[in-house]
A and B are shown apart, each in its own frame.
Chain A
Amino acid sequence: MDKMITKSESINQKRWKKFKSIKRGYYSFIALVTLYILSLFLPLFINSKALLVKYEGSYYLPAIVDAIPGLNSYYDGSIFNQDIAGEANFRHLQRKWKGTNNWVIMPLYPFNPYEDITNNESKMYEAPSSTHWFGTDDTGRDVFARMCYAFNISISFAFILTVLNYIIGVSIGGAMGYFGGKFDLFFQRLIEIWSSMPLLFVVIIISSILEPTFVLLIFIYTLVNWIFLTYYMRAEFYREKSKDYVSAAISMGQSNTKIIFKHILPNSLVPVITYFPFSMVGGILVLVSLDFLGFGLAPPTPSWGQILYVGLSNITKWWMVFAPIMAQFFTLLSIVFIGEAIREAFDPKIYSRLR
């Protein structure tokens, strides 16, 4: 560190610059975030409900209503003079009204992830084609539509899971290192018990009993998974606590909360942040694994693991193996790229090689 007295950038600005300079990480980041934000509006892009219907002079917006939670988006077939039981089939209407005054604008991909063979157009095990890009599954549901919805669920799951794990792991680990004593000892024993158990097995046991929902599954997995950060945070807080700046803060009469959150935490957070993307990779893999085993989210929920399970039980239906694995692969790959770039940006370890 020689003279660095130029117009100083803050350390975070520098990190961001460095991160941007690592192209594959940066572009992966942009791509993933864009895709995720788009996936929040999936009902507008991938849906069997029409975006806009004009029928007998009045307009309907089924897909948009569908995208807003809490609104009733059920349109009976009889509204559009369609002779079927139950909900209107907009794909059918689009074909039927060709050349008339009435028209239908369908979303980009006019299938929804729950449409099974009870819908008379769907067939089981249809190979990929221009209508069903990734074919259909064992109950005639469109695999591409399911995969897109599953993308949203997987990322949300992994993100919420990781954030929760971080909050719990950092606070308990930090408290263990900072306060020490009986508190530390108690949690050390607890962590030892936790880390000696085959955690996935325990999760499977619990979810075989409880039949988990999204929230419940996150809760269960957080319950078994929070310990991994505590190791690191405990050691870090323990080390930082003995440093002079903490002694100074204590002698100035700072409260414990302030010392923990204002002084020690920012100093020990960097490695934890760089680990975040890899932790998310873990979260996505867990959801896929649990869904694959049938102990994940309850059945009709679209999920990569469930498609993969169907594919592997019908080995000739290769699209149901390749599609979810590819989706998972590219998602994880981009997260790994992001993680790699973040690590580089936060922790610029320059490897010098002699000779």
Chain B
Amino acid sequence: MFNYVIRRLLLMVPTFLGATLLVFVILQMAPGGPLEKTVMQMQKGAPSGGGASEGGASGNSSSSSGTLLPKRALKELERFYGFDKPIWQRYLIWLGVWPREIKHRNVSFKLGENEKKKNMGKRRFAYIKREGSSLSVFDKEGKPSTLWKARFDMDISDEEIENFENLKNQGKLSEIKKLEATVYETEFSGVLTGNLGKSYTYQQPVTEVMKPRFKVSIMLGLTGWIIAYLVCIPLGIKKALRHGSRFDLISSVIVFMAYSIPGWAFGGVLLVLFGGGSFWDVFPLGGLHSPQEVWQDLSFFGKVLDQIHHAILPIIAWTIGSFASLTVLMKNSLLDNMSQDYIRTAFAKGLSEKRVIWVHAIRNSIIPIASGIGYIIATIIAGSYFIEMIFNINGFGKMGYQAILDRDYPITMGFLVVAVLIRLIANLLSDLALAAVDPRIRFK
């Protein structure tokens, strides 16, 4: 068993890498990314922006000659969004196994200048020395720095830098007044170190953005699922025990109806009916609690009531989403077992009906339900977009969706990481739950 779990955990690694790599590549290769979006915004904002080069989607290249931005600014933007590196490096940096460059400082060497001193923050200074085309950084004791690195960021070759002065004297490269370089610190920070980057839109670390929203989604999802279980399992059992009765038929109609309408759409109907649009004004239109000015003045008890008042409709919508499949699963599973030989045997040896059903049959029919636990956890995340959208709840799903719209790659990737991890762990959990409920199942 222990070995099995270890093996499963190890197998998760390639799966995780594969899934994240796939989406990472799609995102980074996509036209109209955050870089282009920002460039476009800046150009529109620029006073001289005549709009001549508007919408110039020229890929992620730096050579977009039509842009009105100075090269330096474009370069800085590219650096900010990480587009100055080849894509495999970007992925490794994102993972945290390739050094990430941070705290960039611009340095420029004038003609004949070979050494520069640069403040790197917190009163630490870097001494950059230039020898031909190679830059080396030293700390204040004069030792080669382990913390800082430097490189030229100009479109001239090493050879040209080497012979810069000669060429300059010959009248070539006359447009270049000085040599521009960048000093930067490196660190390993990425997914593996728990750093998911900083959101472009919220200007906050991704983990900080996700935390409160994740809580909201989990709370809604868990409540929804608990209620679904509390309703569906007894209902399924009763339907199975009274198979073919009027109760079974009527509840079947309800189950069919619930299957034909997705939970979020049903939520929409509820909202129209009870949200105070054109029918009854019973429940609030959305959000998780009343507006801040009302919310502040509520007592603790009032706050609890207010939240319940707001959560009722979303939770009903949640429950409906899984109502049909769960009920049918429970019913069919129990019916299956009731026609098995061991039930006949149990009856034959004179056990009471109660005991046969509740001890023998139910235990076996709960197995497929138990194996669904992983799936449930996964849908708490995946299924939450729509309900959060409709009820305007700032949850995890809505955040992910909004991030795609805003081209906020760190959040998009963060969402993906969490979703994939949850799914992987949930799959394992449901296998373990299966083993726990069904003693016949042994993993090797």
- Which of A's residues lie within 8 Å of B, judged by CB? 189-190, 192-193, 195-198, 200-202, 204-206, 208-209, 281, 285, 288-289, 292-293, 308, 311-312, 315-318, 321-322, 325, 328-330, 332-333, 336-337, 340, 351-355
The contact sample of 27 A-B pairs, CB cut-off 8 A, is A192-B15, A193-B19, A195-B423, A204-B404, A205-B23, A205-B27, A209-B31, A209-B32, A281-B259, A285-B262, A289-B262, A293-B385, A311-B272, A312-B271, A315-B272, A315-B275, A315-B277, A316-B277, A325-B265, A329-B257, A329-B260, A329-B261, A332-B259, A333-B256, A333-B257, A351-B243, A351-B339
Say whether chain A's binding surface is mostly helix, strand, loop, or mixed: helix
From known contacts A318-B277, A329-B260, infer whether A201 and B415 are also in contact, taking CB-CB under 8 Å.
yes
> Contacts A200-B385, A325-B265 given; 12 further ones with Cβ under 8 A?
A189-B14, A197-B419, A198-B416, A198-B419, A200-B382, A289-B262, A289-B264, A312-B268, A322-B272, A337-B256, A351-B336, A354-B338
Determine if A196 and B16 form an interchain contact, defined as CB atoms under 8 angstroms apart.
yes
Query: Would you call B135 an interface residue if the criterion is a C-beta within 8 Å of the partner chain's C-beta atoms?
Result: no
Determine if B338 and A351 form an interchain contact, defined as CB atoms under 8 angstroms apart.
yes
Determine if A193 and B385 form an interchain contact, defined as CB atoms under 8 angstroms apart.
no
Residues of B within 8 A of A209 (CB): 26, 30-32
Chain B interface residue count, CB cutoff 8 Å, equals: 58
User: A334: nearest residue on chain B (CB-CB)?
Assistant: B260
Taken together as a complex, chains A and B put the C-alpha atoms of A281 and B325 apart, in Å, by 13
What distance in Å separates the Cβ of B395 from its nearest Cβ neighbour in chain A?
Answer: 14
Determine if A336 and B256 form an interchain contact, defined as CB atoms under 8 angstroms apart.
yes
Q: Which of B265, B279, B285 contacts A308 (CB 8 A)?
A: B265
What distance in Å separates the Cβ of A174 from its nearest Cβ neighbour in chain B?
Answer: 23
What distance in Å separates the Cβ of A353 from its nearest Cβ neighbour in chain B?
Answer: 6
Determine if B416 and A197 form an interchain contact, defined as CB atoms under 8 angstroms apart.
yes
Residues of B within 8 A of A325 (CB): 261, 265-266, 268-269
User: A206: nearest residue on chain B (CB-CB)?
Assistant: B26
Residues of B within 8 A of A198 (CB): 381-382, 416, 419-420, 423
Determine if B278 and A316 form an interchain contact, defined as CB atoms under 8 angstroms apart.
yes
What distance in Å separates the Cβ of B91 from its nearest Cβ neighbour in chain A?
Answer: 15
Determine if B386 and A289 form an interchain contact, defined as CB atoms under 8 angstroms apart.
yes
Q: Which of A193, A204, A321, A355 contacts B269 (CB 8 A)?
A: A321
Determine if A205 and B26 form an interchain contact, defined as CB atoms under 8 angstroms apart.
yes
Query: Would you call B5 an interface residue if the criterion is a C-beta within 8 Å of the partner chain's C-beta atoms?
Result: no
In chain B, positions 365-392 with a C-beta closer than 8 Å to chain A are 381-382, 385-386, 389-390
Residues of A within 8 A of B259 (CB): 281, 332, 336
Shortest 9 CB-CB contacts between residues of A and residues of B = A332-B260, A315-B277, A193-B18, A333-B260, A209-B30, A316-B277, A198-B419, A352-B339, A351-B335
